Amino acid sequence: GAGVSQTPSNKVTEKGKYVELRCDPISGHTALYWYRQSLGQGPEFLIYFQGTGAADDSGLPNDRFFAVRPEGSVSTLKIQRTERGDSAVYLCASSLNRGNTEAFFGQGTRLTVV
């Protein structure tokens, strides 16, 4: 596609449930990033992929969060046993190579845990 695509756009889930958030980066972009943006705050780094491997996952808050990018393109952010505090907008971005080049963002998935 022409831009970074994130699905779903909005997701409401019950506390304790499992969710998957999908990111389709721009074709040919080797670097992919996940950020979490809470209301009134800036994006907070979660994880960065270079190709298929997670080059830096230091931002994942705990072991309930996991992300994969098995073929070096689409990525899925997985959250187990969701908590109300996980409610936020989850942003995905991709760039041609490393982060010092322009990163293109998707429109995010707004996750609401009730």
Partner 1 sequence: AQTVTQSQPEMSVQEAETVTLSCTYDTSENNYYLFWYKQPPSRQMILVIRQEAYKQQNATENRFSVNFQKAAKSFSLKISDSQLGDTAMYFCAFILNTNAGKSTFGDGTTLTVKP
Residues lying near partner 1 in the complex (CB under 8 A) are found at: 31, 33, 35, 40-45, 48, 50, 55-56, 58-59, 89, 91, 93, 98-100, 102-108, 110
CB of 80 to partner 1, least distance (A): 24
Give whichever of 74 and 89 is closer to partner 1, judged by the CB atom: 89
Minimum CB distance to partner 1 smaller for 36 or for 82: 36
SS3 state of residue 65: strand
User: 66: alpha, beta or left, given left = phi > 0 and alpha = psi -120 to 50?
Assistant: beta
Nearer to partner 1, 32 or 79 (CB): 32
Nearest alpha carbon to residue 23 among 60, 78, 65: 78
